[in-house]
Amino acid sequence: MIWIQFAACTAIILYSGTRLSLYGDVIAEKSGLGRTWIGVILMASVTSLPELVTGISSVAIYNLPNIAAGDVLGSCMFNLLILAMLDVKRNGSPISALAHQGHVLTAAFGILLLGFVATSILISDLIPAIGWIGLSSPLFILIYVAAMRNCLSV
């Protein structure tokens, strides 16, 4: 029964993802916000909701922080694998040559954030916490807000 539920969820996600791409493009065109910004903010937020729910439930309900970290970091790696596979299947120029230059800034902030995550995991014993919140978490939020602010101006 669990496999049938998993297959049904997968089918819904596949259908919704194709519609989401189309409607994200329509929103970008009608709002004038631009495809890069809609992709970085709106599409990334919506498609990251499963990671958000998995992360919250694994930590808050089941006390499994490794599942939360593995889900988010594994999702980043899998998304890059998807880009690589799309690039292999595409005829003509690489996808990176066709992407808007504004994504360079987004990628740089992504690298910065992943570097801070890796560093905070490595030195977690040395980073103080206020209650249950590690001091690295506000830094992640500040970098993310700065990235989104800068991506809006591109």
pTM for the structure as a whole: 0.78
Q: Is a pLDDT exceeding 90 seen at residue 138?
A: yes
Helix (H) or strand (E) holding 130: strand 129-130
Angle of CA points 88, 45, 2, to nearest 5°: 75
Domain boundaries, the chain: 101-154
Strand partners of residue 134: 129
Chain centroid to Cα 143, Å, comes to 14
- pLDDT tens-digit profile of 93-135? 888 888 878 788 888 999 999 999 999 999 998 988 888 888 9
Distance between CA atoms of residues 145 and 114, nearest Å:
15
Q: What's residue 42's pLDDT?
A: 85
- CB-CB contact of 43 with 24 (8 Å): yes
